[in-house]
Amino acid sequence: MKFGVLGSGLVGSTIATKLVSLGHEVKMGSRDAANPKGKAWVDKVGRGASQGTFADAAAFGEIVFNCTNGMGSLDALKSAGDAAFRGKILVDVANPLDFSKGMPPTLFVGNNDSLGETIQRTFPEAKVVKALNTVNASVMVEPGRVRGEHDVFVAGNDAGAKAQVVRLLNDFGWKNVNDVGDITAARATEAYLHLWLRLYGALQTADFNVHVAR
Amino acid sequence: MKFGVLGSGLVGSTIATKLVSLGHEVKMGSRDAANPKGKAWVDKVGRGASQGTFADAAAFGEIVFNCTNGMGSLDALKSAGDAAFRGKILVDVANPLDFSKGMPPTLFVGNNDSLGETIQRTFPEAKVVKALNTVNASVMVEPGRVRGEHDVFVAGNDAGAKAQVVRLLNDFGWKNVNDVGDITAARATEAYLHLWLRLYGALQTADFNVHVAR
């Protein structure tokens, strides 16, 4: 399958590499078509990997991942054009983290909104699925880094899109995927970042996650 | 030991009953010293149980639990008087839930504050420890209702106070207690409520909790 991965940072390159390793074709999108991090990634991964602008990657992908920095996500997505995501699954991995007030970062959305919803509102014809934003990049594509049972979450308005993302997460190695509801539930998985950040501070490792026990 | 439990609702009566069952003396505090729910609780529990105003309960307890509704917590605590919590451990179990906008409720504090911190600021001589607010009342005192490993969290500025609360949580049956930092980490455990509420909606039971896997 063809994927667009928006963002050439750690999260983008980690997701993009995993998708290629699963046999998919991936175009990494950046602001600049000749982005050096994108080029380094293409050179390293080789077959199946390409790069371009955000618009190029969005047009290329049958499914598109938003792995841009949360603060820049809307601008990045808008630069791909309004039509870029029409009818497509847009997996939103970004978090609305605000590092401007020091560490730990806070969130730039409040209790009644989320980055996921903002993206869905901005691109109403996209099928936005919030996913994977609750774990570190390495854990996203290698759940085995954390011992025992642990879970990820999906939120989105389109049941079919969520089901397809769940299958993809299964391919990534995830066994426990909790559907927490429509895209407004992105508030919940984004707000969890507050706890993630404190646990990260307490545990001194990013190789952790939560399991929903019952 | 002597405990004051502020609040005669489900959380207050559940915590108070557990404390009595562990051999402690408990005074339940309400706005009205003759609160009928408080009276019903005293009649049911008997020996070790008493009731009074918020001020009576705060004065009685060597450790005080805030189990009032989050929206009313500050008023309830203030009615106990500024000196009531001086030097005492104040275990804040309340959540800043705002039900005024329908279900699921949202939070009335933002990303840069929490109810726990507000209480600590309002009563600077209290040793506020945020705890147990991440699970349902029944699970608070009976962790075995949820299968497998699962965790609670403590946040507070006073290490000794946190250690004493951890021992009390151990007495309640909790094996995994994560210290997530000073009282500002109450933002994290309170913000987690967004996820708790969505999981509650998805799982259709309150007998669940998270485990921190690593």
What ipTM was estimated for this complex? Answer: 0.96
Q: Are residues B146 and A214, on separate chains, in Cβ contact within 8 Å?
A: yes
Question: CB–CB of A6/A57 below 8 Å?
Answer: yes
Residue type, A69: N
A206 reaches B (C-beta below 8 A): no
Distance CA B24, CA B20 (A): 5
Distance from CA of B92 to the nearest CA of A (A): 17
Q: Are residues A187 and B203, on separate chains, in Cβ contact within 8 Å?
A: no
Give the per-residue pLDDT at A110.
Answer: 83
Distance CA A179, CA B197 (A): 13
Fold of B2-203: Rossmann fold (3.40.50)
Distance CA A50, CA A56 (A): 10
Residue of A nearest to B113 (CA): A106
- Interval A119-147 mean pLDDT: 98
Read off the pLDDT of residues A29-72 as tens digits, 9 standing for 90 and up.
999 999 999 999 999 999 999 999 999 999 999 999 999 999 99
Query: B14-45 as b/e, with b when 16 or more CB fall inside 10 Å?
Result: bbbbbbbeeebbbbbbbbeeebebbeebbeeb
CA B137 remoteness from chain centre: 9
Helix and strand tally (H, E) in chain B? 8, 11
Listed in sequence order, the residues at least 6 apart from A39 whose beta carbon sits closer than 8 Å to its beta carbon are: A51
Q: SS3 for B190?
A: helix
Q: pLDDT tier at A144 (50, 70, 90 boundaries)?
A: very high
B159 reaches A (C-beta below 8 A): no
pTM of the model: 0.97
Let me know if A2 is exposed, middle or buried by CB neighbors in 10 A (0-12, 13-18, 19+).
Answer: middle
Distance CA A38, CA A50 (A): 8
Nearest CB among B189, B202, B207 relative to A179 is that of: B202
B204 reaches A (C-beta below 8 A): no
Q: Are residues A207 and B214, on separate chains, in Cβ contact within 8 Å?
A: yes
Q: Are residues A213 and B179, on separate chains, in Cβ contact within 8 Å?
A: no
Q: Are residues A181 and B203, on separate chains, in Cβ contact within 8 Å?
A: no
Q: Are residues A212 and B210, on separate chains, in Cβ contact within 8 Å?
A: yes
Listed in sequence order, the residues at least 6 apart from B104 whose beta carbon sits closer than 8 Å to its beta carbon are: B197, B198, B200, B201
Read off the pLDDT of residues A75-115 as tens digits, 9 standing for 90 and up.
999 999 888 999 999 999 999 999 998 888 999 998 999 99
